[in-house]
Structure 1
Amino acid sequence: MDSLITAAARALAAGDPLGALKRVALRDDAPALALRGIAMAQLGEFARAKMLLRSAARAFGPREAVARARCAVAEAEVALVSRDLGWPAKALEAARTTLEAHGDRLNSAYARYLAIRRLLLIGHLKEAERGLAELDPSLFPAPLRATHELAVAGVAMRRLRTQSARDALDRAEEAARQAKIPALMAEVESAARLLQTPAARLIASGEERLLLLEEVEAVLASRALVVDACRLVVRDRGTVVPLARRPVLFALARTLGEAWPGDVPRDVLLTRAFGARLADESHRARLRVEIGRLRRALRGMAVVSATKRGFALAPSRAGEIVVLAQPVEDEHAGVLAFLMDGESWSSSALALALGTSQRTVQRALDSLAAAGKVQWVGRGRARRWMTPPVPGFTTILLLPTLLPVD
């Protein structure tokens, strides 16, 4: 490897893409193409970066398996940062296997971290945790240690283990400081801010207040019966009843929980659960059926009793009932939650992350765009959607709405 390539690689490792381009911008050999691709990615020119990395992989040829694998890993990182979640995970795993077989331990580990970050984005927490458990960060240099701790913190925040997240972020900050890479330090700082911004709203006895993530954790660990509108479950310390697939029952449980210790009139329940403005006897009959189903679902946790004007919910073993709601509630809150990370997303990537159809996501994006809440750039398959983050709010409690409760 010649001196210019070495100097460019060192500049990229230090987070200086312009310094790298000064050395290789006019070269078209395979190593220079790869470094130019990485530099363009660091500058945010993802489409150009992807083209350069693919050209570099072709230029290296079939005998240079390690170099081709490194290009594949770099292309996967570009896809991840540009939120192109549809890229083939098998190609990244094949590149990781090649690197490991040839003794490139660091790049092999980095490929695994990219896979873990993708799993976090699409909500596969168990797989991400298994991947992290197989890696020992003490063997890695500072940038890779920071990446590891950021992934650990991401899992911990989504699991509502705030002290573990805080400890991981402290370790990430120390590693990023040792690495002296500005972009990495900024990423750690951005992640740490999530612990200091409201993550949910608590509704109890007719009053509301915002909660930090650690306060949400405390509420879920308390003796209260929690109607959790972030994950669409009803829980106390001993039991979790998932209602994500039973929206009518959850709407009834939430309405009754918000009114505790009072009751809710039947016409209010009909409006909240069925959207019925002018209720007839069929609506009232359906309400009685759904109330019966809710009683069975919450048996042992709460009692749903009839009152003169409607129904009331009372805890069986908890001391009180509280409702945990998202800090910002919108018809398309799930889509907004992912867009609020400040990155640009394709509709296909959003559909994959949300676990729904691309057409459903596209309708949501069109509605949000008409309301001025999102904007798009590009055309056709290159179109990307984005929105600036809502100041003062974190999206951690928005994302798990779509995740399984385990």
Structure 2
Amino acid sequence: MDSIITAAARALAAGDHLGALKRVALRDDPPALALRGIAMARLGDLDRARALLKSAARAFGPKEAVARARCVVAEAEIAFVSRDLGWAAKALGSARETLETHGDRVNATHARHLEVRRLLLTGRVAEAERMFSGIDGTALPPLSRAAHELIAAGLAIRRLRTQPAREALARAGRIAREADIPVLSAEVDRARLVLDTPAARLIAEGGERRLLLEEVEALFASGALVVDACRYAVRGGTVCVPLATRPVLFALARVLAEAWPADASREELLARTFRARHADDSHRARLRVEIGRLRAALRGLAGVEATRRGFALTPRAADGVVVLAPPMEEEHGGVLALLADGEAWSSSALALALGMSQRTVQRALEDLAAAGKVQAYGRGRARRWTTPPLPGFTTTLLLPGPLPSD
């Protein structure tokens, strides 16, 4: 490798993106194209970066499988940051296997990090944990070690383990300071906002207050019966009854929990569950059927007793009943939550992350755009949706080290 390529690679590793670009800006050989692509990505020109990396991958010869694999990994990260979740995951897996076969442990680990982050973004936390558990981050360079700790923090946060999350972020911050990479330090600081920003609202006995993640974790360990409107489940101690696929039962449980320790009237249950303004005998019959189903679903956690006015929730062994709700509740909240990371999303990527049909997501985006809450640019397949970022959501662009290896 010539001295200019080596100097550009070292500049990229140190976070000097402009310095790296200056050294290779006028060169069109494959290593220079790859380094230019990474530098452009870190400077925010993702479209140009992707084009340069594709050109570099095509230009590398058949004996340069490792270099081509590194280009694929870098292109995959650009796709991830661009929220192009339809990008071929198999290509990333193949590139990782090539890198592992040829002993490029650093970039192979980075490829696995990308796979874990994609699983996290699409809500497949258990799969992400299994894949992440096989990664040894101890001997990685600073940038990759920091990425490793950020992913560890993200997994801990999703499992409501706030102390391990803080410890992982502290390690990431220490690595960023020692490496003296300001962009990385800023990324760690943004990640810390998740732990210091209200994550939910507690509704109990007619009042409500905002909770941090640590307080949510303490709530689940408190012995209270929690009707969790963030994940559509009812929790009591170590028992969790998921009701995400049974929206009527969850709506009934929430109304009863908000009324506890009093009862909820039949009129309120009908209005909030079935949206029946003028209830008739068919609505009342359906209410009785659904209450029976709720009793069966919550057996062991709570009972549902009939009263003169309606029904009341009676916990079996819990100290109280509370509702845990998202910080803000409105229609299409899931779409807004994903857009709040500040990245530009396509409707297909949103549909994949939410597990919904693309047409349903498109209708939601149209409603939100009409209300002025989101905005779009581009046309056709290039159409992207954005909203101003909210505190507490993070995104990373931690591209791998220099593509041409030593």
Taking structure 2 as the reference length, what is the TM-score of the superposition?
Answer: 0.95
Aligned residue identity for 1:363: R
Change (3 A) 1:113 1:395: closer
Contact 1:337 1:395 in 2 (8 A): no
Aligned length: 395
For 2:302 and 2:100, the matched residues in 1 are separated by 54
For 2:272 and 2:148, the matched residues in 1 are separated by 44
**Which piece of structure 1 moves more, 200-209 or 92-101?**
92-101
User: Does 1:199 pair with 2:203?
Assistant: no
Change (3 A) 1:368 1:283: same
User: Does 1:4 pair with 2:14?
Assistant: no
For 1:266 and 1:394, the matched residues in 2 are separated by 40
For 2:347 and 2:257, the matched residues in 1 are separated by 35
Look up the SS of the partner of 1:361 in the other structure.
helix
Which residue matches 1:347?
A: 347
Look up the SS of the partner of 1:322 in the other structure.
strand
Look up the SS of the partner of 2:324 in the other structure.
strand
Change (3 A) 1:395 1:360: farther
Aligned residue identity for 1:159: R
**Which piece of structure 1 moves more, 201-210 or 300-309?**
300-309
Contact 2:190 2:394 in 1 (8 A): no
* Structure 2 unaligned blocks of 5 or more: 396-406
User: Does 1:218 pair with 2:209?
Assistant: no
Counting only pairs closer than 5 Å after superposition, residues 51-62 of structure 1 correspond to structure 2 as 51-62=51-62
Counting only pairs closer than 5 Å after superposition, residues 252-267 of structure 1 correspond to structure 2 as 252-267=252-267
Counting only pairs closer than 5 Å after superposition, residues 319-338 of structure 1 correspond to structure 2 as 319-338=319-338
Contact 1:351 1:361 in 2 (8 A): yes
For 1:368 and 1:11, the matched residues in 2 are separated by 43
Deviations for 1:191-228, whole angstroms, at most 9, x for unmatched residues? 11110110000001111000000000000111111100
Aligned residue identity for 1:51: A
Contact 1:122 1:352 in 2 (8 A): yes
Which residue matches 1:299?
A: 299
User: Does 1:314 pair with 2:324?
Assistant: no
Aligned residue identity for 2:104: D
Deviations for 1:54-75, whole angstroms, at most 9, x for unmatched residues? 0000111222111111101110
Contact 1:8 1:20 in 2 (8 A): yes
Please state how far the C-alpha of 1:346 moved relative to its aligned partner: 1.2
Which residue matches 1:137?
A: 137
Counting only pairs closer than 5 Å after superposition, residues 138-287 of structure 1 correspond to structure 2 as 138-287=138-287
Contact 2:191 2:394 in 1 (8 A): no
Look up the SS of the partner of 1:248 in the other structure.
helix
For 2:319 and 2:393, the matched residues in 1 are separated by 29
Contact 2:202 2:324 in 1 (8 A): yes
Aligned residue identity for 1:359: R
Contact 1:264 1:311 in 2 (8 A): yes
Deviations for 1:212-260, whole angstroms, at most 9, x for unmatched residues? 0000000011111110001101110042111111100100000010010
Change (3 A) 1:108 1:37: same
Contact 1:199 1:395 in 2 (8 A): no
For 1:394 and 1:202, the matched residues in 2 are separated by 21
Please state how far the C-alpha of 1:395 moved relative to its aligned partner: 9.2
Look up the SS of the partner of 2:313 in the other structure.
strand
Look up the SS of the partner of 1:28 in the other structure.
coil
Counting only pairs closer than 5 Å after superposition, residues 57-76 of structure 1 correspond to structure 2 as 57-76=57-76
Change (3 A) 1:137 1:395: closer
Q: Percent identity between the aligned chains?
A: 70
Contact 2:376 2:384 in 1 (8 A): yes
For 2:71 and 2:144, the matched residues in 1 are separated by 18
Which residue matches 2:36?
A: 36
Please state how far the C-alpha of 1:368 moved relative to its aligned partner: 0.9
Taking structure 1 as the reference length, what is the TM-score of the superposition?
Answer: 0.95
Higher relative contact order (CA 8 A, sep 6+): 2
Please state how far the C-alpha of 1:306 moved relative to its aligned partner: 1.5
**Displaced runs of 4 or more, over 6 A:** none
Aligned residue identity for 1:150: L
